[in-house]
Structure 1
Amino acid sequence: MTAATDELVVAGWNIQRNGRGRTGKEDHRHAARSILASYKPHVVLRQELTGAWANGRSELHAEANALGGLIPFMSSPKEGRSRNPVGVMIDPNIFTIDNDYEHDLPWKSFRHVRVRLKRHRNAKALNITSGHLCHFDPAIRATEARKLTTLADNGQSVLFELDANSYPHQDSKATVDHPHLAGKVTELPDWEQVEDRVHYQHRTIDRDGKRVSDTMPDEILSGGKGVFTDLSLYAATSLRQPDALAPTASLQRHDQGHAQRIDRPYSTPDIAPALKSVEIVASDEISTVTDHALVIMRFDLPTLGSILTLCC
């Protein structure tokens, strides 16, 4: 990786139990790192860095080193809460780092790194974040989503990707204005057909006296006046890349209904014009390693630099 590149590659990925699979006894770490390295990412937004804090965070550093010497950050596990922390990895050839923060929340914290582009010294800061919303409580998910909106306060620019453990709210509506999306949008779960009763409780909310799919986090993040832009939806509509709306999880289980688009990238609207593509990678190789697709975003780096400079 070199600062001379004109393309910024951002990868978001939930690697199940940090490569140890559903049982916790598998070992897909080398395979996962090889897959990630093949995309030569400058930013990696990770979920489920399970156990990566042990032994001086050796697993975290091993992954960052395998990706070309990225600078890694991760949230810390808390007693009695989630043991699957998130992480952010940054290419020091592209960015300087101003600050890094851990935002503590009831179930799982999210990691937030504020960076600046080296080639654009007068540019404003960019806040880069990885998140993983609560898997079992819609109310906590809504709180987590509202906390994420604070990163954009006072005109700040933000880029993040997260395992939302919930559903997008605009996809089906987008087909009305964008006929090329016909057949590309995944229908929300038919809960009468979902076998997993616990999953039903975790992923549905009461709305107008009916139990429906939880889309509230996405409504908070990108609904109404739109604090953030759903970058996969932007790629599908504005860039005419319908495959950006491909489902991301679960790639392994079938008792929770068909796969859904729960892993989603977002940014503040100012950054979206720099986006070149969103690719959802859900190959057989990926599904052997984890139950989540790999999300690859590509940005035009000069355009991003210009946007951040004009915003100052």
Structure 2
Amino acid sequence: MSNKVTVVCWNLERNGKNDRDLRHRAHERLARHSPHLVLRQEMWGADEDGSAVLYELEHVLGMRGWLGPQSCTAIFADQRVFRTVREWPRTGPMWVLPPTALTMHYLPAGKDALPLAVASFHLNYASGTNRLAETEWLTTWADKQWTAQNGETVRVPALIGGDTNGYPEPGVKGDPALPVLENIQDEPHRAHRSYLGPDGTRHMDTRPDNVLHTAGLRDVARYWATHHDGTPAAVAPTVDAYETHGPDARVDRVYATPELLPAVTDVDVCEVPLEVSDHHIVRLTLDGDHLADILNRSHSAGED
């Protein structure tokens, strides 16, 4: 098996717009990337009829799936590469669209290596206030603990991804510009994507990105674009411009704790036709050997 680990993050609009054939074709599109982890959002209806839709998608992807509360999000994993050792069904009181959160072993690292905290999330669409509170709960994934073989408690690395419904502060080559509030034609959307600052004016909502960064979680796309010759494909828009919603934006993002960043070998955005979904696919690749070394070094460091 290749030592490349591929992670994809995708908000598939209404889980295929209630169209079974479209949903299957969409997941066949995902499968062509040969992912080892899939972080999915908008899993609407996947819990109905005994989670029949979830199991259909497992079959299409050839992966096992875990469905989060209220069928809002999901994680799929190649079980030859990742094994779940714990689920986190209660992830805080503030969620409108609860995340799917797991603790997972990367099997090639060996049984004594540290696991990863993995989460697929979807922040609130309409309320910047709620979105901020949800993000503060997301920071707990940078603080998950694991008991090492010697009984010592060690903090585990984290990898989380999803739809933030907000913006990162532009700062690297290729970053989409922040929308201009007055240029957004849909007035409710102005309220959804901005917040009232202490100066009495409204600002585009970059607060979730700021909170995650403060908690030690790094935007892997920005990391890759910054540290590898300014690769603009890493920070390409994940949603296209709409007359009502404003310009191209990078609202879908994957974050990792810093110790994982040296294992990153590429980040890009795979375009998806609008008839399939209103979001593109974020793809992250990791060097599996380097990832295994990190998880074992982190474990050993916890035993010193």
| TM-score past 0.5 threshold | yes
Supply the distance in 1 between the matched residues of 2:267 and 2:250 (Cα, whole angstroms): 13
Residue 32, structure 1, aligned to residue 26, structure 2: yes
Counterpart CA distance in 1 for 2:113 and 2:69 is 31
* Deviation per residue, 1:117-156 (Å, 9 max, x gap): 2122221010111000000111111111111111221532
Offset at 1:252?
Answer: 7.0
The answer to whether 1:221 aligns with 2:212 is: yes
Judge conservation of contact 2:92–2:137 (CA < 8 Å) in 1.
Answer: no
Which structure 1 segments of 5+ residues have no match? 78-83, 175-180
Supply the AA of the counterpart residue of 1:120. Answer: A
Aligned to 1:97: 84
Moved over 3 A (4+): 24-27
Structure 1 residue 228 displacement after superposition? 0.4
Q: 1:9: how far off?
A: 0.5
Q: CA-to-partner distance for each residue in 1:143-172, whole Å, 9 max, x for gaps?
A: 111111112215321001110000102x23
Partner-residue secondary structure (3-state), 1:188: coil
Structure 1 counterpart of 2:188, from 188, 191, 198: 198
1:159–1:268: 8 Å Cα contact kept in structure 2?
Answer: yes
Identical-pair percentage: 30
What's the Cα RMSD here? 1.6
Indicate whether 1:66 and 2:68 are aligned: no
Aligned positions, number? 284
> 1:160-175 to 2 correspondence within 5 Å?
160-169=160-169, 171-172=170-171, 174=172
1:37-48 aligned within 5 A: 37-48=31-42
The CA deviation string for residues 213-267 of structure 1, in whole angstroms up to 9 with x for no partner, is: 00111000014xx510100101111123221111111x37321111200000000
Paired position in structure 2 for 1:178: none
What are the residue-to-residue correspondences of 1:95-174 with 2, within 5 Å? 95-102=82-89, 103-106=91-94, 107-121=96-110, 122-153=112-143, 155-169=155-169, 171-172=170-171, 174=172
Q: Structure 2: give runs of 5+ residues left out of the alignment.
A: 146-154, 300-304
Name the residue aligned to 2:270.
Answer: 281
**Counterpart amino acid of residue 158 in structure 1:** A
Report if aligned partners of 2:167, 2:209 keep a CA contact under 8 Å in 1: yes
Which of 178, 202, 216 is residue 211 of structure 1 equivalent to?
Answer: 202
